Amino acid sequence: MQNFAAIDFETANMYRTSVCSVGLVIVRDGIIADKFYSLIRPTPHFYTSFNTKIHGICKEDTLNAPLFPDVWMQAAPLVEGLTLVAHNSPFDEGCLKAVFAHYEMPYPEYHFLCTCRASRRVIGNRLPNHKLHTVARYCGYNLLNHHHALADAEACAEIALKIL
């Protein structure tokens, strides 16, 4: 695969609609061509300590952040016509569908591929697990800022370039 968009969401709480950041890495002809990152004011706008401990984002960080529809107006042209790739795609695809439904936006039927599933299939038991940082390291990518949406999308893009 030479053309795709790697995507990663972080959430504020247990609701899939609570996306609080998004990272996108656009790959064209096998090369990273563009990157996009934004904080998002989540819905509902509360944070669990569990989620904040994972990604470090808290309510104060997103008080003045744009809502998802405004962020997606910027992101949509970047991903138009591209397959979306995520590590554990059921989570990211679920978040995307949930916020589209919440804001009553027509969902464009994005096609998703999962680098986690692909790593299980391609790499198999050569790894102790198929977590993003483990697979990224195996593929030669040093994921320094794990759980930052853009860093995770970059790692996902590198994995996809190696194994998809």
- The predicted structure's pLDDT at residue 18: 98
Distance CA(123)–CA(60), nearest Å, equals 41
- The predicted structure's pLDDT at residue 163: 96
Question: What CATH number corresponds to the domain at position 31?
Answer: 3.30.420.10
HEC letters along 79-144? HCCCEEEECCHHHHHHHHHHHHHHCCCCCCCCCEEEHHHHHHHHCHHHCCCCCHHHHHHHCCCCCC
88-100 pLDDT, tens digit each? 999 999 999 999 9
- The predicted structure's pLDDT at residue 1: 87
Question: What is the b/e burial string over 103-115, where b = at least 16 CB atoms within 10 angstroms of the residue's CB?
Answer: eeeeeeebeebbb
Select from 115, 116, 111 the least CA-distant residue to 161: 115
Note whether 78 and 22 are within 8 A (CB).
no
Q: What letter would DSSP give residue 124?
A: G
Q: How far is CA 129 from CA 17, 56, 58, 124, in A?
A: 28, 24, 29, 9
45-85 pLDDT, tens digit each? 999 999 999 999 999 999 999 999 999 999 999 999 999 99
pLDDT at 160 over 90: yes
> How many domains would you assign to the chain?
1
Instruction: Please report the beta strands in 55-108, taking only residues with DSSP state E, as ranges in sequence order.
Output: 83-86
| Domain residue limits at 53 | 4-163
Share of the chain above pLDDT 90, in %: 99
Q: 11 by DSSP, 3-state: which? A: strand
- The predicted structure's pLDDT at residue 73: 98
Distance CA(2)–CA(140), nearest Å, equals 18
What tokens were used for 147? 């759980």
> What band does 40 get if pLDDT is binned at 50, 70 and 90?
very high
116-148 pLDDT, tens digit each? 999 999 999 999 999 999 999 999 999 999 999
